[in-house]
Chains A and B, each alone.
Chain A
Amino acid sequence: MTAAPDPRQEDQQLALEATYAGKRRGASRWAPWVYLSGPVAILLVFFAGPLGILAIYSFQERSRTGDGSWTFDNYVAALQPRYLETAANTVIIALVAMILLLAIAYPLAYLIAFRVGARWEIPLLLALALSDELNPLIRIYAWRTVLGRNGLINTVLEALGIIQAPLDWLIFTKFSVIVVLTASWLPYAVIPLYAAMKTIDGRVLEAARDLGAGWWVTFRKVVFPLTAAGFLATIVIVFIPLISDFAAPALVGGKSGRMLASVIEDLFLGRGQWGVGSALTFVLLAASGAVVWLSYKIADMNSLDTSR
């Protein structure tokens, strides 16, 4: 998860380790692996194992009956235009939700980290984490009572005379899927951003202000570059859940909000086509890998840009 450590901290780290290399030479070569062996071993067996089996399935003819023969047919089937259409739909919904998520989470993390004061900092973080404790399925039903035709928003807007008839696009559209996804994953975006914000030395912000930098310049030249790594980590943590959610599309998506995960679920569960399902999964992974890589490049360029 340390995808893009801050270059300056890396330098510090390097310097530290250079200083103490002599002292710790005996232990340091193996020491990290002592700590890592447990986590890595568990993932090798119980994560790489299952994924390996899926990878094998994706190259085998296994629909309904028969097993054995090797084939690329699953990938050919997975790349059909109608799956790709759903995939495009999915990526659009997930991207919009992610942008919205970051637009809310970033200022929120900033406020918690620097503005609310130490007294409120931890209670607010705890509140964020706790908001996730409600059963997700039940939570979606709550959103239906907010967004529905006779829901909270429509009732209030009508009472205020802003609208005459209920807004029908509030629910069973891409809009409602985006709203529910954004609300559900907000805590997971704020926490890593908050952690990244806290790496900024308060004095740097002061210095920026003392030098007369406005908030935009401070943000552009100081805050964002210093939190680029955390920003990236957030994207990685949040994008995949967004892209692979299917409870929200099923309950508030209507017929236009269907996402790729529902298709994959259907292939695995409804139709027993584990081969095509696996292949489609790896296509999805490749696509999300591309998104993550792209955001890594962008974040990287940004931090280079300001270090000059």
Chain B
Amino acid sequence: MKRTIISIAALALVLAACSGGTTTTSAGAGSSGGSGGDASGTVVFFGYEDSFLPGVLDPFEQATGIEVKTPAFADEDETEAKLRAGFDADVVELCSGEAGSLIEAGLLQPIDTTKITDWDAIFPSFKEGEDVVDEDGNVWIVPLQGGPFGIVYLADEVDPITSYEQLFFGEYDGDIAVSEEPVSTIWDMAMALGYGPRVDDITDEQVVAAVDALIDVDRIRTTWSEDGDLIQLFATGEIVAAAHATPDIAEALQEEDINAVYVAPAEGQILWKCGHGIAADAQNVDAAYRLIDHYLSPEMQLVFAEEYGYLASNSKILDVAPPELIEELHLDDPGSVDLVTIPEGLPDNEDLWDDQWQRFAG
């Protein structure tokens, strides 16, 4: 009997230790996460792994004495789930088209552009989109990088494909892949049918019609999820063309001696853009502004352009970038790269798009 009591007591202790452990961590994190306005404190930057370049973060930490904590997220959906669940962050990396639901949920705070040194130097095309600057003039994202979405095809396998209409309905042999993102793929098809091209111009009926058309296109072999996935699909002969791909895909394939070509579709390219927002309950707002300002500086913009070949939002990059790079990436005029460029955005009635998507990939 005595032994039994001792055993129970021991287990109770273990359990207490377990739950105690959790409480301690939460208390500890509280102190590390927010150090309220202290210039030499920490700033929590919740972003993609790709954005934590040492060449960008180290100079910031040295210059300001602010420590940057960088929890990485794997995709934008995770950002939303974690922020909703109360994850403490100051700066959040966001892409246009994804921020709408965060804004609606009150998870972001409007940005005071007077605290952003180069705000006025940002290309106008980067400021388009409801979730960047809304109709009331509130700024939610400071755009930093961008790039186009278009068509990639294998030039040795098919004749040039120059439009989404041709991609889906043209006369050629071979299969294609479409993006697994419902809005992207429905949008591509809507443009092929002559709707849009802006996402807000596509009506509910047109969404239904686009999904009907998608269901009827036999050559759609699969949906691709990530860039790495798409490259494998091309290289292993599964597909000859893909929608909503980036120039980088074609480049990576060319490095492997596969003759892939990126084309800006006649209907228009979609310009993706990503940048930084500030969390509604950010603990170190001052440091957040300083970090964003640092990422927007022409020097850091150049680092990203050189490392990843992204378009820069800050027009002052033209002062520091070598002329070849400016020409190669069209850094001078991101608003009109090749052809018409449509800013990426989310439809107002996203639920309808998603529900319709179920019919295609259900």
- A adjacent to B, CB under 8 Å: yes
User: Which of B115-123, B127-135, B331-339, B348-356 binds A?
Assistant: B348-356
CB-based contact A27/B236 at 8 Å: no
CB-based contact A149/B238 at 8 Å: yes
Contact of A216 with B by CB under 8 A:
no
Q: What is the bound-complex CA distance between A148 and B229, given in angstroms?
A: 13
User: Which of A29-37, A124-132, A192-200, A295-303 binds B?
Assistant: A29-37
Contact of A172 with B by CB under 8 A:
yes
Distance in Å from the Cβ of A271 to the closest Cβ of chain B?
Answer: 6
Q: What is the bound-complex CA distance between A239 and B342, given in angstroms?
A: 46
Told that A34-B11, A144-B236 touch, could you supply 14 new A-B pairs with CB distance under 8 A? A34-B4, A34-B7, A42-B15, A65-B105, A82-B359, A85-B362, A86-B362, A148-B237, A255-B220, A255-B223, A255-B361, A269-B77, A272-B105, A274-B84
Distance in Å from the Cβ of B199 to the closest Cβ of chain A?
Answer: 16
Q: Which of A145, A255, A270 sits near B77, CB closer than 8 Å?
A: A270
Q: Chain A, 110-154, contact with B by CB distance < 8 Å: what is the 0/1 string?
A: 000000000000000000000000000000010011001111000
Q: What is the bound-complex CA distance between A263 and B232, given in angstroms?
A: 25
Distance in Å from the Cβ of A109 to the closest Cβ of chain B?
Answer: 35
CB-based contact B238/A148 at 8 Å: yes
CB-based contact A82/B355 at 8 Å: yes
Number of contact residues on A: which range applies? Answer: 35 or more
Contact of B18 with A by CB under 8 A:
yes
CB-based contact A271/B360 at 8 Å: no
Contact of A268 with B by CB under 8 A:
yes
CB-based contact A145/B361 at 8 Å: no
Contact of B104 with A by CB under 8 A:
yes
**A-B contact list, 26 entries, CB within 8 Å:** A34-B8, A37-B12, A64-B105, A65-B104, A65-B105, A65-B106, A82-B358, A86-B358, A144-B232, A145-B236, A148-B237, A149-B236, A149-B238, A150-B237, A172-B221, A172-B222, A250-B180, A251-B225, A251-B229, A253-B222, A255-B222, A255-B361, A258-B362, A270-B354, A271-B354, A272-B84
Contact of B320 with A by CB under 8 A:
no
CB-based contact A272/B80 at 8 Å: yes
Contact of B158 with A by CB under 8 A:
no
Closest to B350 in A: A271
Contact of B81 with A by CB under 8 A:
yes
Q: What is the bound-complex CA distance between A269 and B101, given in angstroms?
A: 11
CB-based contact B11/A38 at 8 Å: yes
Which B residues form the contact surface with A (CB < 8 A)? 1, 4, 7-8, 11-12, 14-15, 18-19, 75, 77-78, 80-81, 84, 101, 104-106, 180, 220-223, 225, 229, 232, 236-238, 350-351, 354-355, 358-362
CB-based contact A27/B14 at 8 Å: no
- Given A38-B15, A258-B361, A269-B77, A30:B4 Cβ within 8 A: yes
**Chain A interface SS verdict (over half):** helix
CB-based contact B358/A263 at 8 Å: yes
Q: What is the bound-complex CA distance between A38 and B15, given in angstroms?
A: 7
Q: Chain A, 75-110, contact with B by CB distance < 8 Å: what is the 0/1 string?
A: 000000011011001000000000000000000000
CB-based contact A254/B222 at 8 Å: yes
* Interface pairs A-B: 3 shortest CB-CB: A269-B77, A254-B222, A172-B222
CB-based contact A149/B237 at 8 Å: yes
Q: Which of B8, B358, B362 sits near A37, CB closer than 8 Å?
A: B8
Closest to B356 in A: A82
- B360: chain A residues at CB < 8 Å are 255
- Given A144-B232, A149-B236, A89:B101 Cβ within 8 A: no
Q: Which of B80, B236, B237, B350 sits near A269, CB closer than 8 Å?
A: B80
- Given A144-B232, A271-B354, A64:B104 Cβ within 8 A: yes
Q: What is the bound-complex CA distance between A26 and B4, given in angstroms?
A: 10
CB-based contact A254/B81 at 8 Å: no
- A86: chain B residues at CB < 8 Å are 358, 362
CB-based contact A45/B19 at 8 Å: yes
Distance in Å from the Cβ of B210 to the closest Cβ of chain A?
Answer: 15
Contact of A17 with B by CB under 8 A:
no
- B355: chain A residues at CB < 8 Å are 82
Q: What is the bound-complex CA distance between A41 and B19, given in angstroms?
A: 11
Q: What is the bound-complex CA distance between A164 and B174, given in angstroms?
A: 17
- B75: chain A residues at CB < 8 Å are 269
Q: What is the bound-complex CA distance between A86 and B357, given in angstroms?
A: 12
Q: Which of B18, B78, B223, B362 sits near A82, CB closer than 8 Å?
A: B362
Q: Chain A, 248-290, contact with B by CB distance < 8 Å: what is the 0/1 string?
A: 0011011100100001001011111010000000000000000
- Given A144-B236, A149-B238, A258-B362, A42:B18 Cβ within 8 A: yes
- A42: chain B residues at CB < 8 Å are 15, 18
CB-based contact B81/A269 at 8 Å: yes
CB-based contact A141/B4 at 8 Å: no
CB-based contact A27/B351 at 8 Å: no
